[in-house]
Each structure stands twice: as C-alpha cells, then as structure tokens.
Structure 1
Amino acid sequence: MRAYHVQSAGADPVLGDRPVPQPGAGELRLRIGACGLNFADLLMTTGDYQDTPEAPFTLGMEVAGTVDALGPGVDGPAIGTRVAVFGGQGGLAEMGCFPAQRAVRLPDSMSDVDAAAFQIAYGTSHVALSHTARLQPGETLLVLGAAGGVGLTAVEIGKLMGARVIACARGSDKLAVAKQAGADHVIDARTEDIRGVCKSLGGVDVVYDPVGGEQFDAAFRATNPEGRLLTIGFASGTVPQIKANHLLVKNLSVMGLYWGGLLKVRPSVVTDSLATLMDWYVAGKIKPHVSHVLPLDQAADALDLLRNRKSTGKVVVTP
C-alpha cells in the first residue's frame, strides 16, 4: 500500500510503498476513504507537536473509511461498517490500523470526506465552548483564526448555542467564509484593531483562540470582567505570556483545551460531544466546510495549503 511516511526523526515525510498493516489486539483495520489534515500534522513533521509519535510513523490524525479486518479480541464494528476514527497518526495511507474503541459509526448521509473533516474540528470547538467555557446564550464570542479548521466550526457552533459571534480572520475572502458560517461581525486581522473593534461592540465574554501571539494579547484586553479565554493552539508560532495580576483585576479565566488529551482522561466528554454533533449533522444544523480535496500523491501540496494559509475550513486527502 502507499503511505505518506516519516521514516526517522527530523526526516521529511515521503510517499512510498509500505507493508499492509495487520491489526493487533484492540485494533481494527480500515480501507481509508479520506483523511482530514490538521495544523498538528505540520507540527509533527518538525517534531514540535506535544504528541508526535516516535519515528517511523505515517502522518494523518483523523480518518474515515470501511472496516476491513478486526484484531484479536475485537468483536466490532463489523467488517464492511463505515466509521471515522481519531487515531493520532496513520491516516495518510491507503489502509491503517486504529483503536477499535475510538471508531464512530457513520450515518449513511455522511460522506467519507465530511467524516474525515468532522471529529477534531467540531469536537474541539463543541467541547471548548460547551464543556470548558460554558458559553451562554446572549454572550459575545470572539473567534480568532475564524476561517481555519477549528475556528470556522467555533463560529458555527457558537451561533447555534445562541451567542453573538465576532469572527477575526485575514482578508476579505476568509471573512466572507466566516460570515457565511454565521458570524454577526467580522474583523480583518490584517488591517483592523481587534481590541478597538471588540470594545466598540461592548467587549467579549468568551475568546476562542487557536492563533496566540499578538491576536491573543489584543483579545485579552478586549475581554469583559469574568470573561473566559480558551487557548486552543498557537498557529502564529508565539505562545502568549499572561500576567496573573491582570487576571485578578478583571476576574478572568484562561482555559486550555486539548481535545485529544481528553480522550485519555475524560473520554466520556468526547463521546457525548460527538453524539450531539452527529445528531446536529443528520439534522442539517452543521456541515463541514472543506476547501480542498486532494489525492494521496498530492499530500505534500495539501500540507502546504495549511502551511501557507491558503485554505479555509478543512483540507482532506483521499487515498
């Protein structure tokens, strides 16, 4: 089979032939139909992600496909069942083995492309906004990086939860995508003063931040008393440094959310969230925005779309 593989630590990933994997205890094997890319895949190529696997490994954190084989001790899902799996690695390949307990059965109405674009982006935003920040109807939500993979779902879910949503992104094209997802107000991060615009709109109660850097600093200063700031990631490359006395003065809370980490310590939070999200999808309330679908032999180009910020929503590779 073909796979986009990292052979040794620090080496560039290469598309090549690999042996078809055999499922071990607790695993199932998928014939992969689609793999959703995430910013973390880029970090793995340089070893900078907190959960970078030891080399050798195949990139691709989340997949959708059809169960092809079951490992020892696994009694389901049955061979031929369509599922999505967050495996953390192994998705940029024609076949892969993943933990069976993480397999989520797909409704007939959900394509492999939608399923591969679904779990991390929607799961992160739903858990962050509902479980961690406890966003309330009528509150004002500021979403940074609002046209990206997780940011766009935060706009969509925040609006579904009854918030007034301010979306911040770079350029008119990306702002138009955020507006279409339900944003009430938009801010161009290239040309506008984030703090000034937010303050003119009455300040913000919850900040959803996958960007970090200067944008976090501006959002921090625009947050209302008793506001909550969600740190989701640092796409800017700069991790903000927070002065604790500023938290005290305005009674602010800064909360981190690592969706994959919750699978290890509070898996029920993730599974309950995914059940809600699947119901919303079937009901037509949410729909993944996939700007690019590329074949496996263009996996490097697909990652470059993320690296160069040329995509909106998700990029999906179809082995």
Structure 2
Amino acid sequence: MKAWRVHRTGEPRTVMRLEDAPEPTPAPGQLLVRVRAANVNFPDALLCRGHYQVRPPLPFTPGVEICAEVLALGEGAEGTVGDRILAQPALPAGGFAERAVVDARSALPVPGSLDDAEAAALHIGHQTGWFGLHRRARLRAGETLLVHAAAGGVGSAAVQLGKAAGATVIGVVGGPDKARTARALGCDLVLDRRADDVVAAVKEATGGRGADVVYDPVGGDAFAWSTKCVAFEGRIVVVGFASGTVPQAALNHALVKNYTILGLHWGLYQTKDPAAVRACHDELTRLADRGAVRPLVSERVPLEAAADAVQRVADGTTTGRIVVVPAEEAP
C-alpha cells in the first residue's frame, strides 16, 4: 500500500516521502481500516518537525485523524466490517496512508449528516472546542466569545460552537480573505489583526467590558492582546501556540484584573475520562445533525498532495480544513 513516511525531522514538504509500505495487521483489540479521508492538523506538522509532545520512532506516518471503513477485526475487537468510523490511528502508523489500524475501543460512529471529509475533520477540532468552551470556560448564552485564528481549522470549530451556545462571537483573523471566511461562519464581528487595533475594537464592541471568554490557539501577541481585553471574571482558554511563541503569563496581571487562564490538553481526556469524550461526540453528532455545526472543509486533496497540505497548514496560509481523500474523490 501507499503511505507517507518521515525518516528524519524537518519541514513537512521536505521530510515526508510517499512510499510503498507493508500492509498493516490488526493486533488484538484493533481494527484494520481503509482510510476514506484524513484530516490535516497542525500537530501533523509538529510531528514532522519533532516538536510535538509525542515523538514516535522514525520512520513514522503522520495523520492523527481519519474517517475510515472497517475491513477486518483483530482478536477480541468489537465492530462490524463495513462500518464507517472516526478514529485516531496509533502512531507511528498514522492516517496518511491507504490503510491503517486503530484501537476498536476508541472508534466512534460517523454522524450520518456528514460526508467522509467533513467527518474526518469533526473529531479533534470540535472536541477541543467543546471541551474548551463548555468543560473549561463554562461559556454561557449571552456572553461574548473572542476567537483568535477564527478562519482556521481550530478557530472555525470554536466559532460554530460559540454561536450554537448562544454567544456573541468576535473573530480575529489575518487578512481580508480570512475575514470573509469568518463572516460566513457567523462571527458577529470580525477583526483583522493586520489592520485593526484588536484590544480597542473588542472594548468598543463590548461597551468597555471586554470578552467573557477568549479562545486562543495562537499564543504570542494574541495572548498579550487577550489579557488586555478580557472581562472581569473572564476566562482565557490556552489551546496552542500556532504563532510559535509560548507566552509567559504575568500572574500579577491576572490577579489585579481578576481573570482566569485555563489550559486545555484535550488528549488527556482520552486517558483520564474517555466517557466524557464519547458524551461530547454524542453532543457534536446532535449539533451536526441539526446543522448547528459543520466542519469547514476548504480543500479536498489526493494522497499524493498530503505533504504540501501539511506544509501549508504549518505556514498558516489555509482556511478551514484541508482533508486528504482518495484520488477519485479529489477535485
């Protein structure tokens, strides 16, 4: 079968190689699956660079999130051949391949309202958004939510979930094309960080109060702006550092302004509270089926274009989600 493999760390476009790889065999408790769609995530780029918190042995195949069809069951695994599932392949054998093996216990049913590419993009980004906004920040209807990188894969999920929760959503983006995407997603106000004074605009839009909840997958300047325009008893959810800069929080500032900084590592819920992950998936399925959320798939590319797609996500030049699909399904 064909699979992308990384033999040394570096920039995705340089180190990812499309190769012939051995057909995987499911171990006890695993499922052999045919990859129907593999979503491109920023962690895929971090894996290639050797900067992710998990460092699989070389060579490895990136691709942390897939929609797949069950082909065979390992000993003791529950499932049905032909089922369409969402799964996270076990590294070092990720999802940028024709076939993969996954843990049967963690496989989730695909919402019937979503096609393969949309389904592949639902799990990590929207789970992260749901846990960040609801489990950590306790977002309430009527509050103001500020989302950084609102046109990106992670940010677009937070925008949709914020609107579904009844919040007023302010989206921060970089450039007019991403601004149009954020407006189409439903942002009540869109700010271009390249042209607008984000802090002043948020304060003006909220009558001086500031944002009740801030969703920050960017770090760097975005975090600094957030501390200046967060409301009394506001909550800043730290999701990641796509800017490449990990900010140093001034705890005296958090004390004086009376706001909360919340870390979110969604992957921990899979080991610490897997029941919560499944309950979240049930809620996301309900939201998807009634049209309240739908992953923004901006591009569907063939397997041969996966390395370029990972690089563009790493460079921050994309909107929404890029999903790798079989060649016959790519435009």
TM range (shorter): over 0.9
The two structures, once aligned, show a CA RMSD in angstroms of 1.4
In 2: Cα distance, 1:218 partner to 1:242 partner = 12
Give a deviation string over 1:54-102, Cα, whole Å, max 9, x none: 222210000011001111111x211111111023641000000011111
Residue number in structure 2 paired with 1:81: 83
**Equivalent residue, structure 2, for 1:57:** 60
Correspondence for 2:236: 229
Please state how far the C-alpha of 1:51 moved relative to its aligned partner: 1.8
Residue of structure 1 aligned with 2:284, choices 277, 280, 291: 277
1:242 aligned residue (224, 249, 254): 249
Give ranges in structure 2 of 5+ residues lacking alignment.
Answer: 327-331
The two structures have a TM-score, normalised by structure 1, of 0.96
Contact 1:60–1:88 (CA under 8 A) maintained in structure 2? no
Q: 1:174 aligns with which of 175, 178, 183?
A: 178
Which stretch shows the higher mean deviation, 106-115 or 168-177?
106-115
1:20 maps to which residue? 23
- The one-character-per-residue Cα deviations of 1:235-263 (angstroms, maximum 9, x if unpaired) are 00000111111111122111111212211
Give the secondary structure class of the aligned counterpart of 2:37.
strand
SS in 1 for 2:309: helix
Partner of 1:29: 32
The verdict on how the C-alpha distance between 1:50 and 1:2 changes in structure 2, with shifts beyond 3 A counting, is same
1:116 match: 120
| Larger displacement relative to structure 2 (254-263 or 37-46) | 254-263
* 2:111 and 2:288 in contact (8 A); partners too: no
In the alignment, the residues of structure 1 paired with residue 169 and residue 162 of structure 2 have an alpha-carbon distance, to the nearest angstrom, of: 7
Structure 2 CA distance for aligned equivalents of residues 268 and 175 of structure 1: 37
1:144 alignment counterpart: 148
- Decide whether the 8 Å contact of 2:44 with 2:63 is kept in 1: yes
Q: Which runs of 5+ in 1 are unaligned?
A: none
Segment drifting more, 98-107 vs 149-158? 98-107
Alignment correspondent of 2:195: 191
Change (3 A) 1:109 1:165: closer
1:220 partner amino acid: T
Q: Would you say how many aligned residue pairs link Structure 1 and Structure 2? A: 318
| Equivalent pair of 1:62/1:88 in contact (CA under 8 Å) | no
Q: Distance in 1 between matches of 2:57 and 2:138?
A: 36
TM-score (normalised: structure 2): 0.93
User: Identical aligned pairs, as a percentage?
Assistant: 42
For the pair 1:261 / 2:268, whether they are aligned, the reply is yes
- Is the CA contact 2:136–2:262 (under 8 Å) kept in the aligned structure 1? yes
- SS of the aligned residue for 2:15 comes to coil
Query: CA offset at residue 285 of structure 1?
Result: 1.8
Conserved 8 A contact 1:292-1:311: no
Provide the secondary structure at the position in 2 that maps to 1:240: coil
Residue matched to 2:2:
2
**2:317: which partner in 1?**
310
Instruction: State the Cα distance separating 1:8 from its structure 2 match.
Output: 4.6
Contact 1:142 1:206 in 2 (8 A): yes
Using the alignment, how far apart are the partners of 1:276 and 1:303 within structure 2?
29
1:217 lines up with 2:219 in the alignment: no
Per-residue Cα deviation, 1:24-46 (whole angstroms, up to 9, x for no partner): 12111111110001011000001
Aligned mates of 2:63, 2:314 — CA distance in 1: 15
Question: Structure 1 stretches (4+) deviating beyond 3 angstroms?
Answer: 8-11
Q: Could you say which residue in structure 1 is the equivalent of 2:329?
A: none
